[in-house]
Amino acid sequence: MISTRRGARLLLLELLGLLLFPVAAHAGERGTGDLGIIVERASGSVCIVETTGRTLLKKVGGLGDLSHASAVFSRDQRFAYVFGRDGGLSKVDLLAGALVGRVVQAGNSIGGAISQDGRLVAVANYEPGGVKVFDADTLAPVADMPARFGDQGALSKVVGLVDAPGRRFVYSLYDAGEIWIADFSVAGQPAITRLKEIGKEPYDALITPDGRYYIAGLFGEDGLALVDLWGPEEGARRIAFDYGRAGEERMPVYKMPHLEGWASAGDYLFVPAMGRHWVLVIRRSDWTEVKRIPVRGQPVFAMARPDGRQVWINFALPDNDTVQVVDVKALAVIHELKPGKAVLHMEFTPRGEEVWISARDENKVGIYDTGTFARTGELEVDTPSGIFFSARAHKIGL
């Protein structure tokens, strides 16, 4: 009798469990944390991929001009927001494999960001010049912030747009030499803080992984502009100023370097030097330059492995078939590989055991073990450029 009652009780608990947690009904569904996209530069498409099986799941088209495209992700990692060069903002459902929203919001855009709470998507625009903000769910317009400067109210190109804690967006005005902070923490029109005379022609920027420091690279002069977002009223500070003073002539710039939050590793920032064959190493404790690491060519990306032990670097022409690896402990190049012609982007898997590298002119994405440097896989992708994994959803500034 006791055994029968116990068996009935266990059966009842199992039935209740199935009603409350119907696992079997969802057995065929896929999680979003393992997903990402690869931009097909020439076709206006993105390929949805999953990293564990190194599988290309589906191609989604109709995204417009993706010749300089980037992406951010919703906080649940289901949706990718893709920013196209034609001013298009596209929303892609990674699970459905479908384009679910698209607005052409400007004439020429250069990237975007998603707010800390995941409710706002901001787009940086070259033309007409400024930032537009949209509801992440509906893509309905929320705010239009023209980047007007000077006595004549000219419009500046906007670059280096990132999200910051406190429902803020931070960005640089290339033509004005200014950094603006737009605060959306209070309902209504955003409060904008304008920092002037930060340096000549900021061309891109990063925010440190803790969200405290915003750093803009300067094209018009050697150096970087640093803003402490805990005290922006103190203005911008110059760091690594005039690093070309030693007498080495600056070369023609074949591709603008890109600054990323990934370039922070351990106690250092690793910054591509404009027009030179160096990566600058800047100590975060006092913002002084501690070393210049000689590299193969003009660096474009310097991206840190998630554990901070390595920094992987790719290059502009004529060295854009090469990637070099810097050991952060030794502050020296320890490995070089040749992934293919026209390496445009690299992306680490969330814990950094592999890195995916796009080789545009060979229509391939190579996958490498970051411990052994062995090539462990390959995907055929039409003119691949940017690679973005959904783990970025939970990283500030990415």
Mean pLDDT score across all residues of the chain? 92
Distances (CA, A) of 63 to 16, 120, 246, 360: 45, 20, 46, 18
Rounded Cα distance, 50 and 34, in Å: 5
Q: Comparing 13-27, 65-79, 91-105, 316-330, which segment has the lowest mean pLDDT?
A: 13-27
What local confidence, expressed as pLDDT, does residue 5 receive?
A: 55
Q: Which domains does the chain carry?
A: 42-104+339-398 (no CATH), 108-242 (2.130.10.10)
Q: What pLDDT score was predicted for residue 249?
A: 62
Query: Looking at residue 29, what is its pLDDT?
Result: 80
Please provide the DSSP assignment of 96-109 as one string. TTEEEEEEE-SSEE
- Measuring CA to CA, how many Å separate 157 from each of 90, 126, 177, 181? 21, 4, 10, 15
Residues 244-258 pLDDT 10s: 655 556 667 778 889
pLDDT band at 261 (very low <50, low <70, confident <90, very high): confident
Order of all β-strands in the sheet with 130-135:
108-114, 120-127, 130-135, 141-146
pLDDT for residue 254: 75
Cβ atoms of 261 and 243 closer than 8 Å: no
Q: Are 57 and 40 in contact (CB under 8 A)?
A: no
Residue 189: the pLDDT is 87
Share of the chain above pLDDT 70, in %: 91
Q: Is the pLDDT reported for residue 235 higher than 60?
A: yes
Would you state the pLDDT for residue 17?
A: 47
Q: Is residue 262 very low, low, confident or very high in pLDDT (cuts 50, 70, 90)?
A: confident
Given a contact cutoff of 8 angstroms between Cβ atoms, the answer to whether 344 and 358 are in contact is yes
Asked if residue 213 has pLDDT above 90, the reply is yes
pLDDT at 175 over 60: yes
Residue 23 reports pLDDT greater than 60 = no
- pLDDT for the residue numbered 331: 98
Question: pLDDT, tens digit, for every residue of 31-72?
Answer: 999 999 999 999 999 999 999 999 999 999 999 999 999 999
* Band (18; pLDDT cuts 50, 70, 90): very low
Strand partners, 272: 279
DSSP state of 69: -
- Residue, of 4 and 209, whose pLDDT is higher: 209
Give the model's confidence band at 19: pLDDT under 50 very low, under 70 low, under 90 confident, else very high: very low
Q: For residue 249, what are the contacts with CB-CB under 8 A and spacing of at least 6?
A: none
